[in-house]
Structure 1
Amino acid sequence: MAYLALYRVWRPQQFIDVVGQEKTVTALKNAVRESKLSHAYLFSGPRGTGKTSIAKILAKAVNCELKEQGEPCNDCSSCKDINNNTFMDVIEIDAASNRGIDEIRDLREKVRVLPAQGKVKVYIIDEVHMLTTEAFNALLKTLEEPPSSVLFILATTEHRKIPPTILSRCQNYTFHRLTDDEIVNRLKQVAKANSIEIEDESIKTISRRADGGMRDALSMLDQIYTYKGNNITKRDVMDVLGLIDDEFMAKLVGASINNDIILITKLLDSALKEGKESQQIAKETALYLRDLLFYKLLKEKAVLSTVSEHNIKILSEQEKSITKEKILEAIKLMLDTAERIKFSDGQKHLLEIAIINMATLLTSNKSEKEEINKQQHIPLDNDNEDQFQKNSEKNDTKDIIWSKILKEVKDKKIPTHALLAQGKLIGLKGDTLYIGYKKGYKFHKEKMEEKQNREILDQALEEVLGKKIEVQFIFLDDNQYNDIIVKKAIEYFGEEAVEIKE
């Protein structure tokens, strides 16, 4: 006998077998028992939450020869044939593949034919939102005057795309995502029935990643079971599903909070060498930040999606050092990055830039906007030979100008801002602005010297300083520059501003 996937083996066969959706199940069961069925139903909700399964159970219930209290018996010939997909009067249509007016016209003709095998002819139209406008109009005519022996069950994941004229002619039932506990309990039941030894934490991980869909949860367990056999660890779950564990994410976000670029680079290189996808890392980072945000807001009451119990202590320490607003910014950045990576060839570089930019966001004590709003614009004196003198007042002025420059660059292009923010404004001499990088930030310096990033910086400088400015990027601790640019920087700005390491 051919192998059946777990989600097919464990598909509910009676209303009593359905996990979750209690209100919908109770209403339909009562309607069958009391013979108060509508001629058309619309089931809407996320994928894998039981729409087509309940549609099949309802089809069995209305044709069952021995139903009791609204439940199909699963023993009569009608129930058995429906279970085996050989019942002539239950017709399943995939609207994604049969979405045109010709298919619906054909349906309208066949609807007039009396049931050949059972009591009621049931049409289950899945993903009904995919029908064309013309097809919807044709279906509408059938729903307005349906034969008494026909029942329509429409299913969709996109309720908002269903025309109001169709909605008004159906009884509408909304399917909700299942809770983690509901999925965990069913997975434990399935594991026990199949003699699968699996850790509780592994089951919770699968449940969280299923995002409320029982079918997805069972498919994940099936995939891991097929690959790893009857003994499954959390590491098996992470490896087979290509997930990033919360310990890695805690280190990556921790390195970002500490602005440890070297550690960030090492962690990303390690994950990518292990075969993790750049897009997945971006998504996992967003999920971890989501948990960080909710823990900051709700503490122990937070329902976490990726962070396990033994890493909550790390989460509690991390949330103390960053604001809610910065976490939200970082989440948006990572979600946007995950979307951009889909269509990019340079996935690794996009990810690196995004994580570095996230570090910049999380480590700044104040938003640049707040800082700038506190200060009035202080113009540069073009006649002053050394416009950044070494005293606290002038250093404050330099910081304000640097904040303005960074803000203008960020408004234009966030990745460029991430590169520039790792540099340091050394000073302005005449029409030349000097920006220094430590040797460990060679990548950032070289990227800023590329034409597209330099042009963005040039535009920002002209807006902030009111004139075109030449830019020189220098290393602050590399001997190869000592004899040219760094010596000039020392001459202009003093040894306190430029660090030289022998």
Structure 2
Amino acid sequence: MAYLALYRALRPQTFAEVVGQEQTVTALQNAIKDDRLTHAYIFSGPRGTGKTSIAKIMAKAVNCENPVQGEPCNQCSACMDINNGNFMDVIEIDAASNRGIDEIRDLRERVRVMPAQGKKKVYIIDEVHMLTTEAFNALLKTLEEPPESVIFILATTEPQKIPSTIISRCQRYNFRRLQPQQIILRLREAAHSNGIELDDDSLALIARRANGGMRDALGMLDQLYSFKDHDIKREDVLEVLGLVDDLFVSRLLDAVLAQDPGTMVDMLNTALNEGKEAGQLIRETSLYLRDLLLYKLVGERAEFLFVGAANRENLQKQAQRADKHKILQSLRIAMEAGEKLKFSEGQRFLLELTYLEMMALFAQEEAKPAEISEGKKKPTAADKEKIGRNDAREILWNRILAGVKEKKIPTHALLSQGKLLGTKGDTMYIGYQKGYGFHKERMEEKANREILEQVIKEVFNRDMEIIFVFLDDQQVNDMVVKKAIEYFGEDIVQIKD
């Protein structure tokens, strides 16, 4: 017999076997037991949380020859045929590939035919939000006047895309992400039944990576089983799933707090070269910052999602060094970067920029008492303002460069040789050294200027005028350069003879 993937082999066959959706299961089971079923249901929620599994259990329960308290018996001919995919009156439709009006019209014609094998016809339409507007309108007619022998179950991960006219004619159940402990329990059962050895740390890593989806968790266990057979170690999980542990993120944050960009960039390059995902690195950094913030706020009462026992001591040291407001801001930076990485091609650049932003944020903190006691001069308010202004300018320039690079790499190559001098009102000044006249002239051309203007509008949320200037020729009397010096200071705009 062919090997069956774990998520298929362990698919729940009764309501009692479903994990993590107790309210939905109880409501549906009671409706079946008391014969109070409606004609249409919407099952909405994240992928891998049991929508299709419960739909199939429900299809069995309404057609079962010997149901017990709303549960299918899994022994009668109807239950066995449904389990084997041979039951004529349970029809699964993938809306992603059958999304047009012709397919729904065909469904409307078949709906009116009485069940051929069981008591009820059950249509399970997966990813129903993918239907076209015309297809939804055609489906609406059927939902308004459905035959008594038909039940529709519409499954979706994006309920907001379903028209309100459809939703209003269905009974809706929201499926929630599973808790890590629920996933770990099922993974432990799956491992035991297949003779797989995993420790608690490995199970916790898989559960965290699954992000609340049981199917994803079982799929990862299957992948690890194929890679390492029966004996799976924590290091195997990190390698195969592209994860980093809390010790790595802790060292990365140490580099950020220590204002050590070299170490930070080297660590990121090593992780990416080893096959780690940029998005996963950001997510795990977010989890670490969350744990750090909670420890800073409530101390030992904090419940950690990511940080392990071996790293608690260093977490305590970091909590003493970092301000809670800066930790919160860093967490927001990481979460925003996580969203941007989903749609960005320049992932390495965006990842580096995110940690540089955090570094600039922590650079603005007060000098530590130990440094003052060693005779180092405490920075003045003017020094802090100057450092903060330069850091902000560098972060802004990197954002602009990243945006231009995503739109057109040659334009990025021209722009990257310049330097952001600053902004004043609705005007931005960008300077070039004299040896880069070609780059300046090309950037002043319409096509390249329009790309830059578009990116600047995305960053500032408004249109801005761009002025390109030379920094090291004889234009010291040029009004533009004089204005730039007036606005931003001679430490920024350096005019050389």
Amino acid at match of 1:402: K
CA distance, structure 2, for counterparts of residue 345 and residue 162 of structure 1 = 30
1:208 lines up with 2:192 in the alignment:
no
CA shift in 2, pair 1:324/1:131, >3 Å: farther
CA deviation digits over 1:130-175, x for unaligned, max 9?
2222211111111111101101111111222222222221111111
Displacement after TM superposition at 1:300 (Å): 4.2
- Specify the alignment match of 2:429 in structure 1: 459
Q: Are the equivalent residues in 2 in contact too, given 1:41–1:173 (CA < 8 A)?
A: yes
CA distance, structure 1, for counterparts of residue 296 and residue 421 of structure 2 = 39
Three-state SS of the structure 2 residue aligned to 1:451 is coil
CA distance, structure 2, for counterparts of residue 246 and residue 467 of structure 1 = 45
CA shift in 2, pair 1:186/1:273, >3 Å: same
Q: Are the equivalent residues in 2 in contact too, given 1:404–1:464 (CA < 8 A)?
A: no
Give the 5 Å matches for 1:50-449: 50-340=50-340, 347-365=347-365, 396=380, 398-399=382-383, 402-403=386-387, 405-406=389-390, 409=393, 412-413=396-397, 415=399
CA distance, structure 1, for counterparts of residue 482 and residue 105 of structure 2 = 65
Amino acid at match of 2:393: V
Q: Are the equivalent residues in 1 in contact too, given 2:32–2:62 (CA < 8 A)?
A: yes
CA distance, structure 2, for counterparts of residue 287 and residue 329 of structure 1 = 14
Name the % identity.
Answer: 54
- Specify the alignment match of 1:40 in structure 2: 40
Moved more, 317-326 or 299-308: 299-308
CA shift in 2, pair 1:297/1:175, >3 Å: farther
Q: Are the equivalent residues in 1 in contact too, given 2:93–2:126 (CA < 8 A)?
A: yes
Amino acid at match of 1:230: H
Amino acid at match of 1:157: T
Displacement after TM superposition at 1:466 (Å): 2.8
Displacement after TM superposition at 1:343 (Å): 5.9
CA shift in 2, pair 1:76/1:253, >3 Å: same
CA distance, structure 2, for counterparts of residue 349 and residue 462 of structure 1 = 34
CA deviation digits over 1:182-220, x for unaligned, max 9?
111111111111111100111011112211111111111
Q: Are the equivalent residues in 1 in contact too, given 2:126–2:154 (CA < 8 A)?
A: yes
Q: Are the equivalent residues in 1 in contact too, given 2:364–2:384 (CA < 8 A)?
A: no
Displacement after TM superposition at 1:473 (Å): 9.9
Displacement after TM superposition at 1:84 (Å): 0.6
Q: Are the equivalent residues in 1 in contact too, given 2:39–2:150 (CA < 8 A)?
A: yes
- Specify the alignment match of 2:451 in structure 1: none
Q: Are the equivalent residues in 1 in contact too, given 2:360–2:392 (CA < 8 A)?
A: no
CA distance, structure 1, for counterparts of residue 263 and residue 493 of structure 2 = 24
Three-state SS of the structure 1 residue aligned to 2:47 is coil
Displacement after TM superposition at 1:347 (Å): 4.1
CA shift in 2, pair 1:168/1:273, >3 Å: closer
Q: Are the equivalent residues in 1 in contact too, given 2:101–2:132 (CA < 8 A)?
A: yes
CA shift in 2, pair 1:20/1:191, >3 Å: same
Three-state SS of the structure 2 residue aligned to 1:125 is strand
Q: Are the equivalent residues in 1 in contact too, given 2:44–2:51 (CA < 8 A)?
A: yes
Cα RMSD for the two superposed structures: 3.2
CA distance, structure 1, for counterparts of residue 297 and residue 120 of structure 2 = 53
Q: Are the equivalent residues in 2 in contact too, given 1:90–1:121 (CA < 8 A)?
A: yes
CA distance, structure 2, for counterparts of residue 246 and residue 139 of structure 1 = 49
CA distance, structure 1, for counterparts of residue 145 and residue 345 of structure 2 = 54
Amino acid at match of 1:121: K
CA distance, structure 2, for counterparts of residue 258 and residue 351 of structure 1 = 18
- Specify the alignment match of 2:31 in structure 1: 31
Amino acid at match of 1:8: R
CA deviation digits over 1:354-409, x for unaligned, max 9?
3233212123216xxxxxxxxxxxxxxxxxxxxxxxxx99x847526615743762
Q: Are the equivalent residues in 1 in contact too, given 2:94–2:126 (CA < 8 A)?
A: yes
The higher radius of gyration belongs to 1
CA shift in 2, pair 1:317/1:398, >3 Å: closer
Amino acid at match of 1:451: Q
Three-state SS of the structure 2 residue aligned to 1:232 is coil
Displacement after TM superposition at 1:465 (Å): 5.6
Structure 2 residues without counterparts, runs of 5 or longer: 367-376, 403-412, 431-480
CA shift in 2, pair 1:36/1:365, >3 Å: same
- Specify the alignment match of 2:373 in structure 1: none
Three-state SS of the structure 1 residue aligned to 2:419 is helix
CA shift in 2, pair 1:279/1:35, >3 Å: closer
CA distance, structure 2, for counterparts of residue 275 and residue 333 of structure 1 = 23
CA shift in 2, pair 1:417/1:291, >3 Å: farther
Q: Are the equivalent residues in 1 in contact too, given 2:356–2:395 (CA < 8 A)?
A: no
Three-state SS of the structure 2 residue aligned to 1:198 is coil
Amino acid at match of 2:221: L
- Specify the alignment match of 2:477 in structure 1: none
Q: Are the equivalent residues in 2 in contact too, given 1:183–1:217 (CA < 8 A)?
A: yes
CA deviation digits over 1:429-448, x for unaligned, max 9?
xxxxxxxxxxxxxxxxxx9x
CA shift in 2, pair 1:264/1:51, >3 Å: same
CA distance, structure 1, for counterparts of residue 290 and residue 143 of structure 2 = 44
Amino acid at match of 2:35: S
CA distance, structure 2, for counterparts of residue 212 and residue 347 of structure 1 = 25
Task: Give the count of matched residue pairs.
Answer: 422
CA shift in 2, pair 1:8/1:257, >3 Å: same
Q: Are the equivalent residues in 2 in contact too, given 1:90–1:123 (CA < 8 A)?
A: yes
CA distance, structure 2, for counterparts of residue 169 and residue 462 of structure 1 = 68
Amino acid at match of 2:154: L
Runs of 4+ in 1 over 6 A off after TM superposition: 460-464
Amino acid at match of 2:59: A
CA shift in 2, pair 1:469/1:364, >3 Å: closer
Three-state SS of the structure 1 residue aligned to 2:306 is coil
Three-state SS of the structure 1 residue aligned to 2:169 is coil
CA deviation digits over 1:34-73, x for unaligned, max 9?
1111111111111111111000000000000111111100
CA distance, structure 2, for counterparts of residue 49 and residue 73 of structure 1 = 23
CA distance, structure 2, for counterparts of residue 31 and residue 462 of structure 1 = 79
CA distance, structure 2, for counterparts of residue 75 and residue 37 of structure 1 = 23
Please report the TM-score for the alignment, with normalisation by the length of structure 1. 0.76
CA distance, structure 2, for counterparts of residue 91 and residue 192 of structure 1 = 34
CA distance, structure 1, for counterparts of residue 42 and residue 279 of structure 2 = 35
Displacement after TM superposition at 1:305 (Å): 3.3
CA distance, structure 2, for counterparts of residue 67 and residue 332 of structure 1 = 51
Displacement after TM superposition at 1:340 (Å): 4.7
